[in-house]
Amino acid sequence: MKYYTVYREDTEEIIAFGNAVQCAEILGLKDARQFHAFVSKTRSGLRKRYKVVIEEDDEE
């Protein structure tokens, strides 16, 4: 399972942490699909206000 940490770029403040569904809810997005689009745009540099760190949890 992947866990995401979303930071504000200017203050390094954590604004969301959890799986895609949890982060989408915290950020006020419609669903996990919208959150994945948010992550993609952030990592490609289109959204410069945020930084997203992805961690993989191998426990199953």
39-53 pLDDT, tens per residue?
A: 999 999 999 999 999
pLDDT for residue 8: 96
11 Cβ contact partners less than 8 Å away, ≥ 6 residues apart: none
Alpha helices per DSSP H over the chain? 20-27, 32-43
pLDDT for residue 17: 98
Per-residue pLDDT of the chain (60 residues; tens, 9 = 90+): 999 999 999 999 999 999 999 999 999 999 999 999 999 999 999 999 999 999 998 765
